[in-house]
A and B are shown apart, each in its own frame.
Chain A
Amino acid sequence: MFKYVTKRILMVIPVMIGVSIIVFSLMRVFSPDPAPIVLGQHATIKSIEVWRHANGLDAPVVTQYVTYVAKAFKGDLGTSYYTKSQVAAEIGARFPATIELAIAAILFATTLGVLLGVMAAVKKNSVFDAAGSLFALIGVSIPIFWLGILFIMFFAGFLHLLPSGGRINVMLEPTRVTGFYMIDSLTQGNWDGFKDAFIHLILPALTLGMYSMAIITRMTRSSMLETLGQDYIRTARAKGISETKVIGKHALRNSLIPVTTVIGLQFGALLGGALLTESVFSWPGIGKYTVDSILKSDFPVVQGIVLLVAVIFVTINLIADLGYAFLDPRIKYSSKKED
């Protein structure tokens, strides 16, 4: 076990080095020269040269890479081509918004997904099961941005119930401490701000969480069905334990082990979905920032975000893998690599 954990953690290092090389070469080698885009069509050759030198783009690529990585370790991800501000600081300012959204989405996806999955499994072949399957099928088929648009049309346009975008009413914005508006407004006793942040969060969270919810529903259903077929469930029933207890205590706990892993992996996947959701709802997080930066060819920003997301993604996958190994005692990882 210890060997497996160590090996799994060490494997992250070459992957991250590789990712940084891939992203770096995509941005610096294969991309068109950003200078004419940033400086505009009428830039002179002289001004382009000056700009390239100022941004370190005239050095050999390998030197550029080494400088970039060395700086990145100190938390310096370079500066934006346009605003000249620190990329790390810009990301830091937007990151809490994305995390707040992702957490809300995963909470929704987990609660509803597990509930639907359990109901579908317990009442197999019933209306619940059919409805759950249909819901899950639509959840994986509907484009996330169109779902967001439909939500806005219905809840904001038709019912006038929820806001169509943004994160909070500017007047109610809490003083920034953690950057999580729900937490900041609550700790500052800003009750109206809390309510406003909450209603702004509902639609984006539902939109972003829908795909994960579908996956979690499917996974819970199949895992639960498998568990319900086990001998110890039959034994529990034979002992005369009430059905609620059999399902709640014996079946659910065991069938949720694989679901936990899926939830972990889905959280990573949400960071990808956030790109689209944030664009639809004008949510001021890193997703929208990424899209805007790509459209402007602001490469240092894109590079910084992709690397950061990769670090988070890999870390979450690692935790999910290790968590699975710890949670399920039946799994024994041999220290020797086997395929």
Chain B
Amino acid sequence: MTEFDYPQDTPRPDPSSLTHLADETMALGERLPSGDIPDFDETLHEKPENQWLEMWRSLIANRAALVSLIFIAFLVFLAVFGPLLTPYNPISTNMAASLRAPSAAHWFGTDQLGMDIFSRVIAGTRVSLTVGLLAVSIALTIGVILGAVAGYAGGWVDSVIMRLMDMMLAIPSILLAITLMAALGKGIDKAVIAIGLVSIPEYARIVRGNILSIKQNDYIAAARVVGNTDFRIIFRHILPNALSVIIVRATLGISSAVLDTAALGFLGLGVQPPQAEWGDMLGRARGFIFQAPWTLLYPGMAITVTVLAFNLLGDGLRDALDPKSRVK
């Protein structure tokens, strides 16, 4: 989905500078609370705290993020082992038992074709998570490369790439996604491509911004002086510094990819029947809104809690990366 944009020419608040600051503040913060002036020898021999370990500790200290993480692990479990757990075949129809209300036999009831909604909701986990991950991977790979090249090369290369990104951002992402679907045709594989392509600009912009600020550092100049190739500088020296910001963005990206998948499914552009997908289930059961509300309740709930979990995890990761709000 869309988020607000900064005016294009204003320098964006740069999250990567925070990570640099983080190291300094952390170093300070570790010494200050102890009160007395640390023994010089002691500080020298102190093992430097691993940044990732620190982040992890701070993340699991955040209750909402921890719960989300556990829930996401549960979703992954459902996605992998779902087919073994469903009480019914999620794609087998039974017209004799259509639109049954939730009961002991059918926990979430049955839909208009007599398919068990509980089984279909579980089966839908795999589709949503796969599409979410694949779409983000596509966006991430292309976005990172484009952003890195634009930021590192500068000049006309930068202008061309970023103007192209502007063009993609000139169309609301969901409209661009369904336009792509119109061109590519229906189907879940096409949905992955469409959702992946429309979120490229976000990553490209973030990575470019990071690279622009990181490349000013002395150690990058040093790396160049000793004869590193541009490729190596980008991948070994610059990108690792932008990694944490990219991870946060990608986590939030999964939540919007799950939402977009459901939206395309709802409009009838996603999976083709009888495959189970949450948005598609909602789209097809719409006509039974008053007659059989359960057909619409559970798939929607599944989408909402999944998106919520990835949003909370993303927020938690962002806080964990920001030393100012880091939970100790």
Contact = CB atoms under 8 A, between A and B. Distances in A.
Interface stretch (B111-119, B133-141, B261-269): B261-269
A265 B303 CA distance: 26
Given A15-B163, A290-B178, A333-B9, A145 B266 contact: yes
B1 interface: yes
A153 B293 contact: yes
B251 interface: no
Interface in B259-285: 259, 262-263, 266-269, 279, 282
A138 interface: yes
Contact of B167 (A15, A150, A333): A15
Interface string A272-295: 110110011000000000110011
Nearest to B283: A145
Contact of B308 (A137, A150, A261, A268): A137
B172 A313 contact: yes
B307 to A, nearest CB: 4
Given A138-B308, A141-B255, A339-B212, A146 B300 contact: yes
A279 B195 CA distance: 20
A140 B1 CA distance: 9
A33 to B, nearest CB: 12
A325 interface: yes
A143 B279 contact: yes
Nearest to A307: B171
A19 interface: yes
Interface in B169-186: 170-176, 178-185
B282 A19 contact: no
A265 B5 contact: yes
B304 A141 contact: yes
A70 B171 CA distance: 21
Interface string A216-237: 0001000000000000000000
Contacts of B172: 268-269, 271-273, 309, 313
B43 to A, nearest CB: 33
The residue among B2, B262, B286 with the most chain A CB atoms within 10 A of its own CB is: B2
B171 A310 contact: yes
Nearest to B172: A272
A314 B212 contact: no
Mostly, the B contact residues are: helix
B292 to A, nearest CB: 11
A188 B184 CA distance: 47
A146 B282 contact: yes
Contacts of A279: 266-267
Contact of A143 (B166, B182, B185, B304): B304
Interface in B85-140: none
A32 B9 CA distance: 39
Contacts of B170: 15-16, 19, 310, 313-314, 317
Interface residues of B, number: 53
- Of residues A140, A211, A291, A324, which shows the largest number of chain B Cβ atoms within 10 Å of its Cβ? A140
Nearest to A268: B172
B304 A273 contact: no
Contact of A309 (B163, B171, B180, B296): B171
B34 to A, nearest CB: 28
Interface stretch (A20-28, A47-55, A117-125): A20-28
A16 B212 CA distance: 27
B11 interface: yes
Contacts of A16: 170
B175 A15 contact: no
B3 interface: yes
B156 interface: no
B311 A137 contact: yes
B312 interface: yes
Contacts of A152: 289
Nearest to A280: B286
A18 interface: yes
A142 B183 contact: no
Interface in B1-28: 1-5, 7-11
Interface in A244-278: 261-262, 265-266, 268-269, 271-273, 275-276
B290 interface: yes
Given A15-B170, A146-B282, A146-B303, A306 B163 contact: no
Interface in B304-324: 304, 307-308, 311-312
B2 A306 contact: no
Residue of B4, B8, B267 with highest tally of chain A CB at under 10 A = B4
B73 interface: no
A4 B7 CA distance: 11
B4 A265 contact: yes
A294 B212 contact: no
A148 B5 CA distance: 27
A313 B171 contact: yes
Given A146-B304, A265-B2, 6 more contacts: A137-B312, A149-B282, A149-B296, A152-B289, A265-B4, A271-B175
Interface of B: 1-5, 7-11, 163-164, 166-168, 170-176, 178-185, 212, 255, 259, 262-263, 266-269, 279, 282, 286, 289-290, 293, 296, 300, 303-304, 307-308, 311-312
24 contacts: A15-B167, A27-B182, A30-B184, A31-B182, A32-B185, A137-B312, A140-B311, A143-B266, A157-B290, A164-B289, A215-B4, A261-B4, A265-B5, A271-B172, A272-B174, A275-B175, A279-B266, A279-B267, A290-B178, A313-B170, A317-B5, A317-B170, A333-B9, A337-B9
